[in-house]
A and B are shown apart, each in its own frame.
Chain A
């Protein structure tokens, strides 16, 4: 990491584990749960949030000395909304079916608490380069959880990854299905997202006792 000083590198690595936006800071859960029934939308969502977070944090950080503090929430919302419109239009142009699948959840990036939370907590008080790193770091931490949840839900729920049948064909009984394995259709349903995230939190806090709440 010749490019980044130690302090800057920490901005990226911290949110990936011990200060994860979803499991520790409890931000941005809404979209994390709703679109993770499959891996592909999870990854698209993660990339969209990385873009919005990175650019948004820089813009807010550049404007931080000009924004009157009374109306800062509206200013922040407008900045995010503009960026999200760009993402939405790009998705509609290049991946129309996927954008239909994500439906309102692309729009809901606007009210994703990670974004507002990082604007408030970091971008308003730091320079553009550090804000950029913080934005990317937090969005990556968010993306990692999204991808883990999406991976397990798609694998156990429909036996596929990115739509490829990795466990064999469930109708023709090849691969694992020949041994009597069955898909757990429950994993595809919304409630399981919550339980999977709950289990991730459990694993993470068991590994790092310092994170346990009293």
Chain B
């Protein structure tokens, strides 16, 4: 159940592109054709699937406060979390390089379809963002981290696939000249993001609970203020009445 919830949440509610704008650069640059978009999307899923669990292990056994306690008692007080940026990005860069070499050796056909995109991926914010969100949301187990990597990758894949399909069609539309290309892509992405916001109601619970609480508190406060104003007015009217009498 936990897994299922995280899976759908990362794809739809916390979509990398529409909710956090991660990986926008390659999303905009490589979405002119559906076939290339599919290639890049697949590569992103693949790399996220590997790097998020790997960085989870690093975070758990090297970087967190007290993570080094497996080395011995005297290391238990170390907190290396300030090193996490450099560790994560180094892991990602080496993994991408490694994946490239391995894929080239064992599956030349996959390499041909993914090949040119792999170097691009090392600097795709979606990949580093996946690891950083994994860290800041304190995902509990290796299995969940793996799940989070795959599902946020799928979310990104869906987004780039959708925009590439729209861009292929929009070439035949009469867009105002100044908006052509980049401008209209931004606005369409914005509209798609609004559409994806409707998934927000799909899963209630988790970290959405406090927000609604805050809202209801704010509404209550406003209501109370209104009540006070009304009682004030009523009392004013009453006093003026008594004065008239």
- Residues of chain B whose beta carbon lies under 8 Å from any beta carbon of chain A: 18-25, 28-29, 82-86, 88-90, 93-94, 97, 119, 122-125, 127-129, 132-133, 136, 176-187, 189-191, 193-194, 197, 222, 225
Contact = CB atoms under 8 A, between A and B. Distances in A.
Contacts of B132: 104, 107-108
A26 B182 contact: yes
A104 B180 contact: no
- For chain B, what secondary structure do more than half of its interface residues adopt (helix, strand, loop), or is it mixed? helix
A74 B122 CA distance: 9
Interface stretch (A4-12, A136-144, A195-203): A195-203
Nearest to A212: B177
B24 A171 contact: no
Interface in A76-116: 77-78, 81-82, 84-85, 88-89, 103-104, 107-108, 110-113, 116
Interface in A1-58: 23, 26-34
Most chain-B CB neighbours within 10 Å: which of A85, A190, A192?
A190
Contacts of B133: 104
Nearest to B221: A171
A205 interface: yes
B193 A190 contact: yes
- For chain A, what secondary structure do more than half of its interface residues adopt (helix, strand, loop), or is it mixed? helix
A154 B136 CA distance: 26
Contacts of A23: 182
A110 B91 CA distance: 14
Nearest to B93: A74
A82 B86 contact: yes
A201 B179 contact: yes
B83 A78 contact: no
Contact of B82 (A27, A34, A88, A199): A88
Nearest to B127: A111
Contact of A194 (B93, B122, B189): B189
A104 B176 CA distance: 36
Nearest to A85: B85
Nearest to A197: B186
Interface string A166-207: 000001000000000000000001111111011101100110
